[in-house]
Structure 1
Amino acid sequence: MLHAKGTLLTIDVGDRTATTSNIDDELASFIGGRGVATKLAHDRIPFDADPLGPENRLYLASGPLQQSRMSFTGRMNLTGLSPLTDGLLSSNAGGYLSRNFVATGHSVVEIVGESDELLAIHVTDDGVEFEPVSELEEAGVPDVTDAMNERHGLESENLVTIGPAGEHEVRFASVMTYDERAFGRGGLGAALGAKNVKCVSFAGESAPELELPNEDLHMEVHREAATSDDIMRRQGTSNLTEFLNDEFSLPTRYFNELEFEHAADIGGNAVEEKKYEKASCSVCAFACKLPTRDEASGLETEGPEYETVFSFGSNCGVDDVVDVMKSNELCDRYGMDTISCGVTVAAYLAANDEFGNADLVHELVEKIAFREGDGDLLAEGVARIHEDLGVDNWAIKGLEHAAHDGRVVQGQGLSYAVANRGGDHMYSTTMIDEYHGRIEREGTTGKAETVIENENRNALRDSGIICQFGVGRAVEADRFERLFDAEYDELQQVGANVVELERHFNNRRGFDDGDDRVPYDLPDLESSKRDYYRARGWNDDGTVPADAVASASRSD
């Protein structure tokens, strides 16, 4: 089975030390990316660790396909203990970091400890340098890039960076790369900020030798990406806005409504009108990114994608695409997840009858990033503050609910309930099966197996690492087999092991079936949860049996 090559680099920012370890066995069993990072995190982070304490560990990891020239592979994984969900969580981001990361000779970089001053860390194939950067305190992400470029010739594609939100431990702070690409969900930017690390750079010329099977398939996928007429290439996921508004749902005004009367003003066509050039991730010919500009104001950003259209548009009652672009730009600059931030702001608007007040939205985003005034409360996220605001808790396991509404696509609702990551649509993407009519949208009965298959495949996707746009468009079961030189059942088992280790870690932190719930009624949810647990071989209370943990954790 194809897997990543390279060492584990452990950086202790408290001791200012760096050590290298062999993890060949873990890579052979877990491929790379989210898989190997989850295995290491499960084994090395104490089950009772404080997400904002020095004992938490963050794992940046690449997969084997980051050494290919195939489209849809310009991505990286980040895993750690989430300050937002209090569980083990992985996030991934695109851009141009992955090839620079691999070039240092490492497959995983582990960050532990806590520095007594703000640091930039520079990783090369010659070693690790620690640079005090107190003068960059509260600097925005692009300003950090400018400073690193001036001092060291480093570009945005060499960096992972936190903004002021990470330093102020906003629970949904992101880790940013390429300035506008985010390891977005779960607040891992706050975990890095708690370690007093402002940025980490990667540059080298020591990529491990890796023989890739079926390289002709890489070029086949690349050609298909280059010649595709998919609307995603023009509008990204923002193209979903009007379709979902008309045919399914577009959560509106803090989830109180299911359609937005101004969807066309913030949707795909409106975004495309502001797009001024093509953009992509590393080596990808699909080029689906969205550099946008408003000529009247001079505002430039990348996006918004659909989830941001929802979170800062319809869910806040905001009907001007430029206002949504502004919210997107602020979150990128300050380093925050647009979904969690937007949903939290929408909760505040609901509490204060201020839907549609875009100026207040932008003011709140800034206040959250610096924990000023009401922003200090909102920086905690909806699950912790909904009672203070007097609104419903639209979060699942602490993670703010995504745009794909489980009240309408109810298999997706089931998947939100059981997902280790909580309210994240990317964990199982079961809504895609419902949107395309492969399964009915109503009900949860009989959907547990679909949720499981999707979860396993997506864990494989994130271990590979392959972009979600490539999965389903270019890479299905037969191509997974050819890319990874293994039977699909074997690859699905790798994914299942990743999900199982995540679950066990969270079980040890107190999570069980009582946490597998959503903020709305779903038909037959309790029986469908039991179907899910049985199919996974878990206990009826949603915990993983000891023998299953031992099996999933085995590295051989």
Structure 2
Amino acid sequence: MSWAGKILRVDLTAGTVKSEPLNMGWAKEYLGSRGLGSKYLVEEVDPKVDPLSPDNKIIWATGPLTGTMASTGGRYTVITKGPLTGAIACSNSGGYWGAELKMAGWDMVIFEGKSAKPVYLYINDDVAELRDAAHLWGTTVWHTEEQLKKDHQDPLLRISSIGGAGENQVLFAAVVNDLHRAAGRSGVGAVMGSKNLKAVAVRGTKGVGNIKDPKAFMQVTMEKKKILHDNAVTGQGLPTYGTQVLMNVINEMGALPTRNHRDVAFEGAKDISAEAMATPRPTDGKKPLVTNQACFGCTIACGRIQKIDQGHFTVENKPQYWGASGGLEYEAAWALGAANGVNDLEALQYANVLCNEHGMDPISFGATIGAVMELYEMGVLTKEQLGIDAKFGSAQALAYFAEITAKGEGFGKEIGQGSKRLCTKYGHPELSMSVKGQEFPAYDSRGIQGMGLTYATSNRGACHLRSYTVASEVLGIPVKTDPLTAEGKPELVIAFQDATAAYDSSGLCIFTTFAWGLPELADQLRPAIGEEFTLENVAKIGERIWNMERDFNNRAGFTAKDDTLPPRLLNEPAKTGPAKGLVNKLPEMLPKYYAARGWDENGQLKADTRARLGL
């Protein structure tokens, strides 16, 4: 079994660090990472707790395949009650940190309470201790990582930390590892900051040695890697263009949310696309894209490394930003670009770099700026309030807002509360493009109907990664469905939600599912952790996890009324493209979804659903 079998429990109030055995009964029912970490949270935390109070807990969790030779086995999740939404928050990250924790011999770290002063947790295999972080507090993610490696004289130390956004309780603050990989959404970094916890630094030298059948596991992982290699998306599209391959595709099908979802296509999409990143600039003849990059054990390598034009207005006097850094993914490029009508690729990369450096979710940040720009054009917000002219399309305003939000200065403090609170404060809650307080990703649900149901029912607020029906509705994976119809979408969304929950909990990356299905996951779990992980069992684990998260949210006070979309998507038809004249058909899909889930009309789990899933 490739669970380490141990967790660390850190009481920040008392300053103690203790080892305890992993609950193996729960591990077999919830796998690991997202599922198992959420099970611990659900059992130990009052659903009505204030997310930023010491009574909330925050958990770093790996999966049974994290740190193994399975492709993409570097994932970990950060689980807590989220301050942006008040719902269960579970944010997934790649890079190398997750594998390092596993190789140090730990499945999970649970933090509870609040430290009286800034601290970080240092783990070196079996040794784990809290240390003073006074010299790190107030510094960036980048400085924290560099300083801790210097302090411990260990360049191979892996760091998961927060920047100023987490310290200042920006409600969409991220937890960042390896400089530019992030547990990005729902404000997990703000919870970390509320506990005076700056970083978790890990060095693991043990490896992952307790695979149940090593020879069979090696053989099956090699077979599955070949499937990834031979697939058009995981073997060609993502390595070559990264997730940015989608910018022109989604724009052309009329589903690219533009200017706070007022439009469904962006005339400047080509300027901020993957193709633009790979084209030499007229200013200096160099390509913005330097290379691609892979996380631990990944055979896909979709990550981008990018360089800003040194003469661009954002960095002309800032040499610290002239080097290569984590580049634009599709979601960030959309949120910083099309959502605000900005087609300046260099400005997008600058804002993205600040999000990495200071620890902010670029999706929620960019989408909130879209709301600010709309309120400004309506005359609700003024130049005096904002500190800048903030019309749609202003690259200067985007860069300025990134700077003041990261530092918690001026109007940046209000931006840092997210679009729901900001729009409500200024009398226009309908202009927040969010569900349960979390901003939408880069797909307009009038043009991709399944994504509307996905957003409305997502347990962590609007999210594409909880059920990526784009794979089916746009890319035809595993089967092609019509993006403009509501027919069959409840069943499609449920299948994606359950499968994603299982993948997230295994420790593998969701991008493998462009080529793999649940059978490929079950095939790798069996030789790693046990023959009982059949296809049927793995599918049931995914369903169990989804329903457990839903039940936590219901007990936190969420009801069927929260499974909705902003009025704009339900009432204002798309103006152009294939979806012209369409709104999202959520009212048609939601009752069928509840029935198929085994929930009552109020979105509560029925007794027989609980019994069947052992909840």
Structure 1: which amino acid aligns with 2:182? A
- How many Å apart are 1:178 and its aligned residue? 0.4
Which amino acid is the alignment partner of residue 185 of structure 2?
A: R
- Mapped partners of 2:79, 2:613: distance in 1: 18
**2:560 matches 1:516:** no
Which is further off, 211-220 or 175-184?
A: 211-220
Which residue of the other structure, out of 345, 348, 367, is the alignment partner of 1:343?
367
Q: Which moved more, 1:462-471 or 1:118-127?
A: 118-127
Q: Which amino acid aligns with 2:416?
A: A
Shift of 1:550: 5.8
Provide the residue aligned with 2:94 in structure 1.
94
Q: Distance in 1 between matches of 2:323 and 2:398?
A: 16
| Mapped partners of 1:324, 1:68: distance in 2 | 35
Structure 1 residue identity aligned to 2:519: D
| 1:6 maps onto 2:5 in alignment | yes
- Deviation per CA, 1:226-273, whole angstroms, max 9, x where unpaired? 576512112111111111111232111111111111111100111233
* Separation in structure 2 between the aligned mates of residue 225 and residue 153 of structure 1, nearest angstrom: 38
**Secondary structure, counterpart of 1:128 in structure 2:** strand
Matched, 1:499 2:546: yes
What is the CA-CA distance between 1:201 and the residue it aligns to?
1.0
Q: Which residue of 2 aligns with 1:405?
A: 444
Deviations 1:423-453 (A, max 9, x none): 1011111122111352111232432111111
State the Cα deviation string for residues 293-351 of structure 1 (Å, max 9, x = none): 13534253212111111101111111111111001000000100010011111211222
Pairing 1:360–2:366 present: no
Matched, 1:472 2:533: no
The residue type equivalent to 1:187 in the other structure is: G
Asked if structure 2 preserves the Cα contact closer than 8 Å seen for 1:301 and 1:325, the reply is no
- Same amino acid, percent of matched pairs: 30
TM-aligned CA distance change 1:162 to 1:546, over 3 Å: farther
Pair 1:431 & 2:430 matched: no
**Would you say the 8 A contact 1:47–1:509 is kept in 2?**
yes
2:452–2:584: 8 Å Cα contact kept in structure 1? Answer: no
The equivalent residue for 2:337 is: 313
Q: Which moved more, 1:303-312 or 1:203-212?
A: 203-212
Query: Residue 416 of structure 2 aligns with which residue?
Result: 379
Structure number with bigger Rg: 2
TM-superposed deviation, 1:224? 4.8
Q: Quick one: which of 442, 452, 456 aligns to 2:484?
A: 442
Pairing 1:222–2:225 present:
yes
In the alignment, is the contact (CA less than 8 A) between 2:309 and 2:346 conserved in 1? no
SS at match of 1:120: strand
Give, in whole Å, the separation in 2 of the partners of 1:518 and 1:189.
26
Give the stretch that moved more between structures: 351-360 or 217-226.
217-226
1:205 paired residue number? 205
Give the residue type in structure 2 aligned to 1:195. K
Change (3 A) 1:14 1:234: same
- Greater mean alpha carbon deviation, residues 406-415 or residues 516-525: 516-525
Runs ≥4 in structure 1, deviation > 6 angstroms? none
Mapped contact 1:477–1:488 kept (Cα < 8 A): yes
| Alignment deviations for residues 476-534 of structure 1 (CA, whole Å, 9 cap, x no partner) | 23312311223322111100110111011100111111100011215552342121111
- Greater shift in the superposed pair: 167-176 or 399-408: 399-408
Is the contact between residue 67 and residue 210 of structure 1 (CA under 8 Å) also seen in structure 2?
A: no
User: What is the alpha-carbon distance in structure 2 between the residues aligned to residue 466 and residue 31 of structure 1?
Assistant: 12
Distance 1:103 1:65 in 2: 12
Counterparts of residues 265-304 of structure 1 (less than 5 Å): 265-272=271-278, 273-297=287-311, 298=322, 300-304=324-328
Q: How many residues align?
A: 552
Aligned to 2:535: 488
Cα displacement (A) at 1:417: 0.9
The CA distance in 2 between the partners of 1:258 and 1:364, in whole Å, is 24
Matched to 2:600, the amino acid is: N
Aligned to 1:166: 166
Q: CA RMSD in A?
A: 1.9
- 1:144 counterpart letter in structure 2: T
Check 1:493–1:455 CA distance in 2 against 1; reply closer, same or farther (3 A cut). Answer: same
2:182 corresponds in structure 1 to: 182
**Distance change in 2, residues 1:154/1:113 (3 Å):** farther
More divergent stretch after superposition (267-276 vs 39-48)? 267-276
Specify the alignment match of 1:264 in structure 2.
Answer: 270
Q: Distance in 2 between matches of 1:541 and 1:249?
A: 30
Cα-to-partner distance string for 1:102-131 (whole Å, 9 max, x where unaligned): 022111111111011111111233332211
How many Å apart are 1:159 and its aligned residue?
A: 0.9
Q: Which amino acid aligns with 1:56?
A: N
